[in-house]
Amino acid sequence: MREVSAVIARSAVRYWLMERDEPDVVVLLHGLGSDHSGLAELAERVTGRSVVVPDLPGFGASAPLPGLNSLLAYAGFIDELRRHLGVDRVAVAGHSLGASIALVHAGRYPETVDALALFNPVTGVSGFAGQLSRAYYDLGASLPTQLARAWLTSRPAVWIADQFVMRTRDPSRRRAILAQDYVAYRRADLRAVQESFRSYYDTDFAGYAGRVTAPTLLITGGRDGLAPPASVRRLSEAMRAGLMVVDSAGHLFPAEEPDAAGALLDDFLVDRRSPVDNVERAL
């Protein structure tokens, strides 16, 4: 993939571009604390479209947004990125925080989205894992900056957080995810981390979901505590969207099983069935 620097939404950002001859484009959005590298393997498995993978503002090599780094502000950034790319419509696929941003974007700018794929979408902070995450980030927000950075982005903090969400038993894959997250969290802007998580609290996910018009596929893991099947199933029913539950997978499905995740995404982007025709399937 080719690295590109640009100023988008008044932020100096980087994105990675895999160009193909076809005119269609898919934008891939990474999760909280990650950067484009977390979806690099997934991007390689997409065929038939050019692929754009940004470091979201405040993460990786991208500067934070000048204002609030909220889900809605990130949705606006994605629309500015689309304009920068010079295309009228894009497919949008996101993981975790990126899926939440993709959902808000597709509801806010429905005429610009031709397909929507949400991997492990987090649309609230309920359940044990969600409440634990909320307490963790709320405590971080109450600390002085130096202590907050240590609490949220230090190697011990990242190691503990990853133990809660990793499900793969492949030791090399676990080491690779940890190494990637150590670097990504160290580079992340603390304000962007805190603001993006806390914006979950006041985002009207149901309202945005009701305004999505693009064919949509939701994918989660049977062992995902942050985007549990019951929660994602309710979202899919509200959107009349397709739902795929991967029984053995957890919250890091695209990173732990990029071949399987890439095949699901690629098949969906090629097929793009009407949401009303999609049904739940389990793997």
Average pLDDT over residues 204-209: 94
Residue 274 has pLDDT above 50, yes or no: no
Identify the CATH number of the domain in which residue 122 sits: 3.40.50.1820
Q: What is the pLDDT of residue 119?
A: 98
88 is a domain residue:
yes
Is 170 within the bounds of a domain?
no
Where b means 16+ CB within 10 Å and e means fewer, 259-268 reads: ebbbebbbeb
Tell me whether residue 148 is in a domain. no
pLDDT at position 281:
58
Range of the domain at 269: 2-127+196-282
Average pLDDT taken over every residue of the chain: 91
> Residue 7: inside a domain, yes or no?
yes
Q: What pLDDT is recorded for position 129? A: 65
Do the domain assignments include residue 189?
A: no
Average pLDDT over residues 26-54: 96
pTM of the model: 0.93
Whether 48 is in a domain gets the answer yes
Q: Are 113 and 106 in contact (CB under 8 A)?
A: yes
Domain assignment present for 95: yes
**What whole-number distance in Å separates Cα of residue 134 and Cα of residue 128?**
10
The CA distance from 122 to 18, in Å, is: 27
Res. 128: pLDDT tops 90:
no
The answer as to whether 191 is a domain residue is no
Distance CA 264, CA 251 (A): 16
What is the rounded distance in angstroms from the CA atom of residue 259 to the CA atom of residue 244? 15
Structure tokens given for 87: 């295309």
With a CB cutoff of 8 Å and minimum separation 6, the contacts of 128 are: 225
Number of domains within the chain: 1
Of the candidate ranges 100-109, 149-158, 244-253, the one whose mean pLDDT is the lowest: 149-158
